[in-house]
Amino acid sequence: MLTWVVVALAILVLVPLDPGVRVGDFEPTPYTGKVNPSPNYMIQDHYFQSGDLHCHGWLYLPLPNSTEDASSSNNNNNEKLPVVIMASGFGEQKDFFGFDVYAEEFVSRGFAVFLFDYRNFGASKGHPRNLVSPKRHVQDWQSAIDYITTATINKSNNNNSNGTITVDSQRIGLWGMSFGGGHVLTVASQRQNDTRIVGVVAQAPFLKTSASTKKSSKKRGKLGKFRLLLAGLQDAARGYMGLPPVVIPILGIKGQLAMMPSTPKNLEAYLAQQPTLKLGGWRNQAPTRGLLELKFYCPMESVRQNPPRIPVFLVSGTRDAVCPSHVIEQVHQLLPQSQVITRNASHLEIMGPDHAPQVGQKMANFFEDCFR
Ligand SMILES: *[C@@H]1O[C@H](CO)[C@@H](O)[C@H](O)[C@H]1NC(C)=O
Ligand SMILES: *[C@@H]1O[C@H](CO)[C@@H](O)[C@H](O)[C@H]1NC(C)=O
Ligand SMILES: *[C@@H]1O[C@H](CO)[C@@H](O)[C@H](O)[C@H]1NC(C)=O
Ligand SMILES: *[C@@H]1O[C@H](CO)[C@@H](O)[C@H](O)[C@H]1NC(C)=O
Ligand SMILES: *[C@@H]1O[C@H](CO)[C@@H](O)[C@H](O)[C@H]1NC(C)=O
Ligand SMILES: *[C@@H]1O[C@H](CO)[C@@H](O)[C@H](O)[C@H]1NC(C)=O
């Protein structure tokens, strides 16, 4: 009898029968470098350790432009630059739509920018690919801060400027969008007493599960929730046993088992925005074990317990159904030193050309004040 129970359980775990899930990982395409798009800054590749893996980041460094003469480029030797650390949102990576717009704005103001990929994403190492894990993402943020503030950066591969640059470990800004916006607030709360972090930008931040998932959870129904839970448990068990992951789409449409249900129109618009060749060969799939963690991840609660005492710049969209503006208003109330700007935008639109250039300038002004 007991044997049969064990066999039945083993089958349940090892053979996911749900037609909405798939089994399998993918091999990331090798990273071949980024073509520098501008003479005004350079982009360097950096790897840093997080946990037992290596994450990859692009370090944007401002360059003296050609109108400046050699003497001013000498002044640039051994300088200390404030740095804005950036990372992407849910199931995303740094080459996705929009991040470069903000990064370029910041570097044009003379800040270094460190835009990195979470473990298992983009040019970062790790299997299974595209593992969404708030716990690990937050660790990656911590590792990125520790790395970039202690790195000595070699600038001599550029002919204009010949010295070393160091990032000013006393002037760190954090920038996150959506899920990443939740992470920067969580990290700022964890580092509440770390005076080196002087400003935080959280655009359309994810703050608590209930807000953004209540609606879609209702739509999923009890059966849908059970299927997700089972898939999550199966994937966790398979991960533990070193078997290929159980995956579902990161973004899907209503009726499909997906991490983030969307409308066909929004899904298509989102995917169409992304580069054709994505770092690491990103696919719209993620291991379901991440779902088990999501329930317990609450940046709002972190902020409530250890409110950061530094300036915080919040951006919310009036038509944002994923990270609604009234929830962002709540976190604004918890943070006396915060400001919020509200745009007539959906979650998707806020990264787009109608908002990002203008909002990016405001963010850069904000960081300029923080870095003084
Ligand atoms: C070069 O720098 C000067 C002074 O900072 C600025 O006015 C000019 O627009 C810059 N040129 C370019 C091409 O960015
Ligand atoms: C700096 O870069 C130059 C050229 O790429 C290289 O020859 C040199 O070894 C580097 N120095 C350090 C300290 O990494
Ligand atoms: C630096 O100068 C050398 C020789 O003048 C040239 O071959 C090389 O491409 C230049 N490197 C960069 C990064 O501009
Ligand atoms: C860079 O430094 C090297 C060694 O100190 C020197 O020979 C070279 O002329 C410098 N280049 C510039 C552009 O300052
Ligand atoms: C920051 O310091 C205060 C006072 O020492 C302490 O009560 C608080 O727990 C610290 N916050 C964190 C996140 O460690
Ligand atoms: C907000 O944008 C939507 C869609 O572009 C438009 O229909 C609406 O009139 C705008 N609302 C305001 C207050 O401007």
Instruction: Tell me what pLDDT residue 117 has.
Output: 98
Mean pLDDT of 334-339: 96
Instruction: Tell me what pLDDT residue 71 has.
Output: 43
- Tell which residue, 366, 306, 298, has the closest CA to residue 334: 306
Instruction: Tell me what pLDDT residue 74 has.
Output: 45
pLDDT tens, residue by residue, 287-322? 999 999 998 999 999 999 999 999 999 999 999 999
Q: How confident is the model at residue 222 (pLDDT cuts 50, 70, 90)?
A: confident
Please tell me if the CB atom of residue 152 comes closer than 6 angstroms to any atom of ligand 5: no
**41-210+298-371 classified as CATH 3.30.530.20:** no
pLDDT over 80 at 372, yes or no: yes
Mean pLDDT of the chain: 91
Alpha-carbon span 21 to 228, nearest angstrom? 9
How is the chain split among helix, strand and coil, in percent rounded to 5? 40, 20, 40
pLDDT tens, residue by residue, 104-133? 999 999 999 999 999 999 999 999 999 999
pLDDT over 60 at 67, yes or no: no
Q: How confident is the model at residue 70 (pLDDT cuts 50, 70, 90)?
A: very low
Please tell me if the CB atom of residue 192 comes closer than 6 angstroms to any atom of ligand 5: yes
Report the separation in Å between the CA atom of 76 and the middle of ligand 2, taken as the mean of its atom positions: 17
pLDDT over 70 at 37, yes or no: yes
338: which strand partners? 312
Alpha-carbon span 146 to 190, nearest angstrom? 14
Collapsing DSSP states into helix, strand and coil, what is residue 45? strand
Alpha-carbon span 130 to 122, nearest angstrom? 8
| Closest atom, ligand 4, to C-alpha of 156 | 1
Cα-based angle 317, 320, 323 (whole degrees, multiple of 5):
100
Mean pLDDT of 191-211: 93
Of the listed ligands, the closest to the CA of 75 is: 4
Of the listed ligands, the closest to the CA of 162 is: 4
Q: What residue spans define the domains of the chain?
A: 20-26+212-286, 41-210+298-371
DSSP 8-state code for residue 29? P
- Ligand 4 mutation target, pool 162, 164, 165, most atoms within 8 A of CB: 162
Report the separation in Å between the CA atom of 160 and the middle of ligand 3, taken as the mean of its atom positions: 9
Please tell me if the CB atom of residue 162 comes closer than 6 angstroms to any atom of ligand 4: yes
Of the listed ligands, the closest to the CA of 317 is: 6
Mean pLDDT of 28-49: 91
